[in-house]
């Protein structure tokens, strides 16, 4: 009998983590999820179990808890780790930077220490296009580093990347994939799992979907005076299922690669806020009232990926188009108007 590979997914109950757990289970991996549920619900994993007919093992705990990690690695023969766990709200990181350096940066250090002690040296880390900072030239390739990121969240991610480089330089046993996501959106086509932000959403798609649902009166569009074709900000939106598939490809690639490997996960296409609103309305036959308001501090005009390195080295590219992203967002939102909460 072929032994199934075991992957520890930290933050696996969250938005991207739950979709990746689904993809890995379907690909035949054994999955162990570690999550403190600070920004997610166990229901996401229950639904993943139902969808796949296989349950991931679940440990309710914190990635900063070294004793828990040591026990976890002692009791389970883990082959690789995919590390999603962390905080991600840019505005919150400005008001509470220490939580970001603790959960994200220190959390990753503790995880790597426990991995090193257990002899587990294959790691995929969730980074972000935010590490490129302001002033990068589009399409952004992996070599570009403009200013330092403008907020503690982004800095926590860039610091982690630097720590991972130092770690890989110190010992050539490490195989590390740093995945820089652009703007993940959408949900699994079943509408059973999706993004479930607590409180008022920060990001465009969850906000827009809540306006369409009538939970919010109108979408604020942050500025129409950028140097873009219609004045609103341009981003590279990527379907969360394409992103999840990217993790599977990276996991396979790391079997034959060492050191730190950085891959952009984006589509390479940029859409403006107004184009997204129009695409959502056209795909779902609904009306999204909006109002142009002032720019949001820290926003940049244009950001989209050069995804050719991932295509070349991983054989991966995003397949799902903007219309599919809009349809799947709406299906999830209408089937689960209160997210995972009843
Ligand atoms: P999410 O909040 O849905 O998932 C993160 C998960 O980690 C949650 O389930 C949360 O409960 C858990 N968690 C947080 N701190 C923890 C800790 N200390 N110990 C254990 N579990 C903890 O977010 P997501 O959108 O799925 O993002 C996943 C990763 O991808 C994050 O690292 C995020 O920074 C990164 N990322 C996200 C985006 C995006 O727009 N969603 C873009 C780029 C990068
Ligand atoms: C997209 C566009 C806004 C909300 C953020 C993080 C980044 C990464 C992804 C984690 C922009 C506009 C938004 C609204 C609007 N996360 N907008 N009205 O800012 O590109 O990236 O999420 O790593 O680090 O910074 O994403 O979805 O917030 O904004 O007009 O109510 O929509 O100005 O042009 P962003 P977003």
Distance in angstroms (rounded) separating the CA atoms of residues 210 and 120: 42
Ligand 1 center–CA 53 separation, angstroms: 25
CA dihedral 33, 37, 42, 43 (to 10 degrees): -130
Ligand 2 center–CA 81 separation, angstroms: 28
> How far, in Å, are 95, 112, 149, 296 from residue 92 at the CA level?
5, 26, 15, 14
Q: What is the pLDDT of residues 7-18, one digit of tens each?
A: 999 999 999 999
128 lines ligand 2 (CB under 6 A): yes
For residue 145, pLDDT beyond 90: no
Contact (CB, 8 A) for 317 and 245: no
Mean pLDDT of the chain: 97
* Minimum-distance ligand 2 atom for the alpha carbon of 208: 31
Domains of the chain (ranges, CATH numbers): 6-185+237-266 (3.40.50.720)
Contact (CB, 8 A) for 148 and 88: no
Q: Whose CA is nearest to atom 15 of ligand 1?
A: 86
Q: What is the pLDDT of residues 86-140, one digit of tens each?
A: 999 999 999 999 999 999 999 999 999 999 999 999 999 999 999 998 889 999 9
Contacting residues for 229 by C-beta, under 8 A, at least 6 apart:
272
Per-residue pLDDT, 135: 83
- Of 173, 8, 175, 2, which is closest to residue 77 (Cα–Cα)? 8
Q: What is the pLDDT of residues 257-307, one digit of tens each?
A: 999 999 999 999 999 999 999 999 999 999 999 999 999 998 999 999 999
272 lines ligand 2 (CB under 6 A): no
For residue 152, pLDDT beyond 90: yes
Instruction: Over range 75-92, report the average pLDDT.
Output: 97
Question: Which listed residue (132, 153, 237, 304) is catalytic?
Answer: 153
Distance in angstroms (rounded) separating the CA atoms of residues 342 and 340: 7
Instruction: Over range 31-41, report the average pLDDT.
Output: 98
Contacting residues for 220 by C-beta, under 8 A, at least 6 apart:
290, 291, 293
Contacting residues for 263 by C-beta, under 8 A, at least 6 apart:
142, 177, 178, 179, 180, 246, 250, 309, 310, 313, 314
- Of 181, 184, 126, which is closest to residue 307 (Cα–Cα)? 181
pTM of the model: 0.98
3-class secondary structure for 15-71?
HHHHHHHHHHHHCCCEEEEEECCCCCCCHHHHHHHHHHCCCCEEEECCCCCHHHHHH
Per-residue pLDDT, 178: 98
Per-residue pLDDT, 317: 98
Contact (CB, 8 A) for 83 and 125: yes
275 lines ligand 2 (CB under 6 A): no
For residue 74, pLDDT beyond 70: yes
84 lines ligand 1 (CB under 6 A): yes
Ligand 2 center–CA 113 separation, angstroms: 33
122 lines ligand 1 (CB under 6 A): no
Per-residue pLDDT, 134: 85
Ligand 2 center–CA 252 separation, angstroms: 31
Query: Is-catalytic flag, 153?
Result: yes
User: Residue 1 — pLDDT band, cuts 50, 70, 90?
Assistant: low
């Amino acid at each position: 009998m072929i032994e199934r590979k075991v992957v520890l997914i930290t933050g696996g109950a969250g938005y991207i983590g739950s979709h990746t757990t689904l993809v890995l289970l379907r690909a035949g991996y054994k999955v162990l999820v570690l999550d403190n549920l600070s920004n997610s619900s166990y229901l996401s994993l229950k639904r993943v179990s139902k969808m796949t007919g296989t349950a991931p093992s679940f440990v309710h705990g914190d990635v900063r808890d070294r004793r828990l990690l040591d026990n976890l690695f002692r009791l389970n023969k883990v082959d690789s780790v995919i590390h999603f766990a962390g905080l991600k709200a840019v505005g919150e990181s400005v008001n509470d930077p220490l939580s970001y350096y603790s959960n994200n940066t220190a959390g990753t250090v503790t995880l790597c220490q426990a991995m090193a002690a257990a002899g587990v040296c294959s790691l995929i880390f969730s980074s972000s296009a935010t590490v490129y900072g302001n002033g990068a030239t589009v399409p952004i390739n992996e070599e570009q580093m403009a200013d330092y990121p403008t907020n503690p969240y982004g800095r926590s991610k860039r610091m982690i990347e630097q720590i991972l480089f130092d770690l890989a330089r110190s010992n050539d046993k490490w195989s590390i994939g740093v995945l820089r996501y652009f703007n993940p959106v959408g949900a699994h086509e079943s509408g059973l799992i999706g993004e479930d932000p607590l409180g008022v959403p920060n990001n465009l798609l969850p906000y827009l979907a809540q306006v369409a649902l009538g939970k919010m009166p109108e979408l604020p569009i942050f500025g129409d005076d950028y140097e873009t074709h219609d004045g609103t900000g341009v981003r590279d939106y990527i379907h969360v299922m394409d992103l999840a598939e990217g993790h599977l490809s990276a996991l396979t690639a790391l079997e034959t690669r060492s050191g730190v490997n950085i891959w952009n996960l984006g589509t390479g296409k940029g859409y403006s806020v107004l184009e997204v609103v129009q695409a959502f309305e056209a795909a779902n036959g609904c009306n999204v009232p909006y109002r142009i308001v002032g720019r949001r501090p820290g926003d940049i005009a244009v950001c989209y990926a050069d995804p050719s390195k991932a295509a070349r080295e991983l054989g991966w590219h995003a397949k799902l188009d903007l219309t599919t992203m809009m349809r799947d967002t709406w299906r999830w939102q209408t089937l689960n108007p209160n997210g995972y909460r009843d």
